[in-house]
Amino acid sequence: MTASNDVRKAMQATNERFCHDVIRDGRFDALSSIYTKGARIMPPGAPMVQGRGAIEGFWKSAVAGLGVTGVKLTIEDTEMAGDTVIEIGHADLQMGKNGTASVKYIVHWKQEDGHWRWDKDIWNMNA
Amino acid sequence: MTASNDVRKAMQATNERFCHDVIRDGRFDALSSIYTKGARIMPPGAPMVQGRGAIEGFWKSAVAGLGVTGVKLTIEDTEMAGDTVIEIGHADLQMGKNGTASVKYIVHWKQEDGHWRWDKDIWNMNA
């Protein structure tokens, strides 16, 4: 079963915080309203990173290192699993003078404090 | 909630079919008892691949291309989500003369025809 419109809207709102607040505006503290407290991310070329503090450190360093200037997230598919959602999506990255990159991902979403947040986040490049 | 011992045992059996039947013995038709009918895989460096036929084609070509001679799958964490399981794990690959590679992954498991199978499968390299 796909997620309801209400859940998808809440997911979109979280995704927009990532694109606008974190990536565009560099407000990395906003990650605490995007990831759950126990969240784990699994980035390509690095070991798994767990917990909000470590995740904030990862994104600061990754955005600076790659020169990411913009991200667009697109939800392709949602699937309810109990009271959680499994999402398949893709991200279009803009990287200043380095051009663009196309990324696909799975995010496992959970509700925490009344908000839909990323609990597990894994991605890789299409090329 | 983590998966029960019975569910984990069934997952291990599926994983062993992948390591032994598919990778060690080259019996790619065994993939039909590992992936669900509508399964999607999200490999690094390539677009998403959907459906058993396409997935079999991907693995044939990837194993030959990389010279994979052995895989060991380790379940790190399981989480029940409704009647499905979200697994975080890692894979140790042996690639003939090309050495080894360390891979981390998320698999979304579903029961199909009484067996636990991989419905969504995404991975990337640690380095």
Model pLDDT for residues B3-41, shown as the tens digit of each residue: 999 999 999 999 999 999 999 999 999 999 999 999 999
Residues of B whose CB is below 8 A from A62 = none
Model pLDDT for residues A60-87, shown as the tens digit of each residue: 999 999 899 999 999 999 999 999 999 9
Residues of B whose CB is below 8 A from A124 = 42-45, 122-124
Select from B33, B26, B38, B42 the least CA-distant residue to B10: B33
Q: Nearest residue on chain A to B82, judged by CA atoms?
A: A82
The DSSP result for A78-119, as a single string, is EEEETTEEEEEEEEEEE-GGG-EEEEEEEEEEEEETTEEEEE
Q: Which residues pair with A80 in a beta bridge?
A: A85
pLDDT at A112: 97
Complex ipTM above 0.90? yes
Residue ranges of chain A whose pLDDT lies below 50 = none
pLDDT at A61: 96
Model pLDDT for residues B58-87, shown as the tens digit of each residue: 999 999 998 999 999 999 999 999 999 999
pLDDT at B73: 98
